[in-house]
Structure 1
Amino acid sequence: MVYLVLLQKDLRQFDNPALYHAVRRQKQVIVVYVMEKRLGLTSKWWLCRSLQTFFEELDPFWIPVLYLDNSDKISELLEYLSKYIEIERIHSNGLDFELPDDYDEIHDSFQPNLIFKPEDMIKEYKIFTPFWKSIRANCSPVKPLPIPEYSRKNYVDLEFDEYIDLPKMDDSDRWNQMDQYWKIGEKAAQERFESFVKTKLSDYDHGRDFFCEDGTSKLSPHLRFGEISARQIYERLNTKSTERFCSELGWREFAYHVNRYHPDMTKIPLNPKYRDFWPEFNDDHLEAWKTGNTGFPVIDAAMRDISTTGWMHNRLRMLVASFLVKNLLIPWQLGEEWFYEHLVDADPAINPFSWQWVAGCGTDSVPYFRIFNPMLQGEKFDSKGIYVRKWLPEFADFPLKQNIHQYIIKQPQLCPKNYPKPIIDFKSSRERTLSTFKNIVAPKVIQLKKPRLV
């Protein structure tokens, strides 16, 4: 009799409910990782390395890890396993697919990697602040579970011929280069968390905004693949002095809360008046944005950063998203898709939720007239141009005493010859956007007349 643990994300041993409860039954255990329905290419690179690490960590405890590359094949997998074993229970921490009906009675779905139980919020919230206040006041955070105590009874003495090949990426310069920027796996996540607490947390409220410095935790990809528990982080840091950081975890909870009610928000704006909006756009502008050749240094540096490292500072994410949607008038869905392919932490709930927030079409979004100014943001959070010079070699010889962000407006003659000129006039684009968004009309709601009683 075998306990089957189906995982999507949750590549950790500490506070992994499905794994913990399976192991503690003192039964044989098999772990199966099932590929998510939506996974970006760069996220897949992370997954490949994380899954290999997870496999190696479980191997000494006699627990095999199998891999299913498509959730549509789940019936095929269960039929295959049934030839060799008798499945007593199936455990998971939440899946993006349904199990065959005949397995419902033996399936236990445990808490996903969230701080609070989603079902404890009995109504939909559309604004973050009321949501976060309510859930903290009325719901109890779930306590983290310890690492399972493995025994020889968990051992499955079988050699599987199929489902044993873990996913791999094609060998390329990009993936080889990415290795220098990241350490992957549960151990690396715990080390990063401890380092953040000791060296950056005390200045987080201030340092988190400066993209020229390394003031953030960079835990997002570890949370994305469940290499670290959100509950562990919250339990450790839930104090008045760390309120700001905990609210970032709350924003993550809110994104999943909204996604629970709107699973189609990847494509459909949460605000209905934006559903049939978006004028025609310039394809060359979209390409310039993707490749970091817009002529706006902060935008281009951020876009070249993400293409190299698979990550981008949160303030820069807001900047480049605002620029695409509100200056170039390009549909936010195209930006969301591009981010999803290029971010190591591209999350199926958080990525579209955040894009709708910036685009102004979400439930709790920045207003249409809030348009980030990349020149002013650069001056404020990268005053010496450290970040820009790091990612734009064209500015290596730019005079140190000159304002690298304002040359576009004040001193265009300083533009390096090998750097593109701005693809738009920022002021004009802002005025166009304000006029365009202001005139969006909400769809009419037809009120049906009540029937007369006769």
Structure 2
Amino acid sequence: MKNRAIVWFRRDLRLADNPALRAAVDGDYDGIVPVFIHAPEELGHWAEGGAQRVWLHDSLTALDNDLNALGSRLVVRRGPSLEALQVLIEESGATAVFWNRLYDPLIVERDKQIKQTLNKRDDLHVESFQAHLLFEPWQISTQQGAPYKVFTPFWKRIKQEPRRAPLPRPAELPPVWSRIGTVDIAELDLLPRIRWDKGIRQRWEPGESGAQRRLEAFLDEPAEQYDEGRDRPAVPGTSYLSPHLHFGEISPHQVMHRSEEWLDEHAKPAPREHIESFQSEIGWREFAHHVLFHFPATPEEPLDQRFKDFPWVQDDEALAAWRDGQTGIPMVDAGMRELWATGYMHNRLRMTVASFLTKNLRIAWQHGERWFWDTLVDADLANNTLGWQWAAGCGADAAPFFRIFNPARQGQRFDAKGAYVRRWVPEIAELPDKHIHEPWAAPKRVLEEAGITLGETYPRPIVDLKVSRREALDAFEQIKNT
């Protein structure tokens, strides 16, 4: 009897360090069918946003090319996932189905039902694997057996745990039989019909090879100044690995292992400090998934229940100005325009624009969460939820509510020469450094010389930063002791 395995690819679009694929390769299987099932309806309103769909299209294309190079191909099917798997099992005569686990609440429930249904078959071996994180969310707990809500002790605990080494990439794969049909990736309609995605396609290289090149480019230079460079949006000081990690084109095990190898190759004290800071960002990703797994309502509801009664403001006009990068606050506008043009926003700006929305405008964090979900190529339910609740002061290890980022001060500190703002807000580019982050405070003569008429060529601020800060603190007082 033939033994054949289905490998269900999800957000693990890579061949190296893929435990599900490795189980099929190492097993005594005559054939392996790699499949991706497109089933956005199973994710509700947390299905991939517009920017993610662009990335997914290119990443699936890259995976198919990589599989072809090894003698195989990617089979693409439409959902529902269970029905698609059952049909493929019958078509292929598969005796095993393998996949790697994910931890978004709806996916956990779906996968549980799929596994229970498939396990009822005596002729089928069904197994899932840990690949998306360093450790399972349920493996790490406090001494009291509770989930962590604070990052520092969580990461300290993680670092004490032994990690496995990355798994090798297969040298070759058996061909997929011609009778196994596939949907063309283009038929999934992942790309926009009005092609607004040019900036995304120009900036990024989705796929496993692109992820590896991105990591090596980071280690070649930015890694040695990471602690300083990561806060300066005008310089390439970060790894830009987040979308590759989200789609599983590279694994956290690979990132940790390669960065430690790099440290051994560069045995100097300074790089070690920077690499450890970089690795802690992998820790934050772990922490985000840990919190989401244990508190699955947090994409919709604040972890700190007091914030259910927070007096949020409904202001559609201000929300639109924020989305469009037309708030009259240069650092905020620059971040929002970078997001729209490239599908990405520097982390310093993510904190800045989130603080501005939730505290200066007092618009509920869920509005920002949803906009990021649709516009970020690295939109990840766990990271997005943790980040927005952190900024709003209502989540795990959140910034205290009274920590309100002043976007002008953020610009003066981290974009002192205005290079970032001048790139994304060109209408004020002629302002001198002294006024680039506060054009409303510039003398009339300076504005005229720079060709700026506030309210016409560039908006006046839609909110007074000092007044709105005070109003936000007064609003917090209303719920602080509830």
Give me the whole-angstrom Cα distance separating, in 2, the residues matched to 1:158 and 1:424.
62
- Alignment TM-score, normalising by the size of structure 2: 0.86
Equivalents in 1 of 2:162, 2:78: separation in Å? Answer: 36
Alignment of structure 1 residues 55-134 onto 2, 5 Å = 55-70=64-79, 73-95=80-102, 96=107, 97-98=110-111, 99=114, 101-104=116-119, 106-122=125-141, 123-134=146-157
Contact 1:23 1:149 (C-alpha < 8 Å) held by counterparts: no
Question: Match of 1:227, as an amino acid?
Answer: E
Deviation of 1:413 after TM superposition, in Å, equals: 6.5
Q: How does 1:23-422 map to 2 (within 5 A)?
A: 23-27=25-29, 28-35=31-38, 37=43, 38-70=47-79, 73-95=80-102, 96=107, 97-98=110-111, 99=114, 101-104=116-119, 106-122=125-141, 123-137=146-160, 139-151=161-173, 154-166=174-186, 167=188, 168-238=190-260, 240-241=272-273, 242-398=275-431, 400=432, 402-409=434-441, 411=443, 414-415=446-447, 416-417=452-453, 418-422=457-461
Count of equivalent residues:
437
Distance 2:32 2:350 in 1: 41
Inter-CA distance 79–247: structure 2 relative to 1 (3 Å threshold): closer
CA distance in 2, matches of 1:273, 1:412: 45
- Partner amino acid for 1:203? Q
How has the CA–CA distance of structure 1 residues 367 and 101 changed in structure 2, closer, same or farther, with 3 Å as cutoff? same
Comparing 172-181 and 219-228, the one that deviates more = 172-181
Kept after mapping to 1: 8 A contact 2:310/2:478 = no
Question: Percent identity between the aligned chains?
Answer: 40
Question: Within 2, Cα distance between the matches of 1:278 and 1:221?
Answer: 34
Paired amino acid for 1:405: H
Structure 1 window deviating more from structure 2 (220-229 vs 107-116): it is: 107-116
Contact kept in structure 1, 2:416 and 2:433, CA below 8 Å: no
Corresponding residue for 2:4? 2
TM-score (norm 1): 0.92
Query: How far apart in 2 are the matches of 1:430 and 1:271?
Result: 21
**Cα-to-partner distance string for 1:278-304 (whole Å, 9 max, x where unaligned):** 333221100100000000001001101
Unaligned runs of 5+ in 1: 444-454
How far the C-alpha of 1:69 sits from its partner, in A, is 4.0
| Corresponding position of 1:446 | none
Query: d(CA) in 1 for partners of 2:302 and 2:352?
Result: 20
Q: Which stretch has the larger CA shift, 154-163 or 345-354?
A: 154-163
Other structure's SS at 1:178 match:
helix
Cα distance change, pair 150–278 in 1 and its aligned pair in 2 (3 A): farther
- Deviations 1:147-177 (Å, cap 9, x if unpaired)? 12324xx333233345454534134331233
Q: Is the 8 A contact 2:59 2:207 kept in 1?
A: yes
* Alignment-mate amino acid for residue 408 of structure 1: W
Q: CA deviation at 1:125?
A: 0.5
1:432 corresponding residue in structure 2? 471
Q: Is the Cα contact below 8 Å between 1:281 and 1:328 reproduced in 2?
A: no
> Residue 87 of structure 1: SS of its match in structure 2?
coil
Distance 1:437 1:409, change over 3 A: farther
CA deviation after TM superposition for structure 1 residue 178, in Å? 2.2
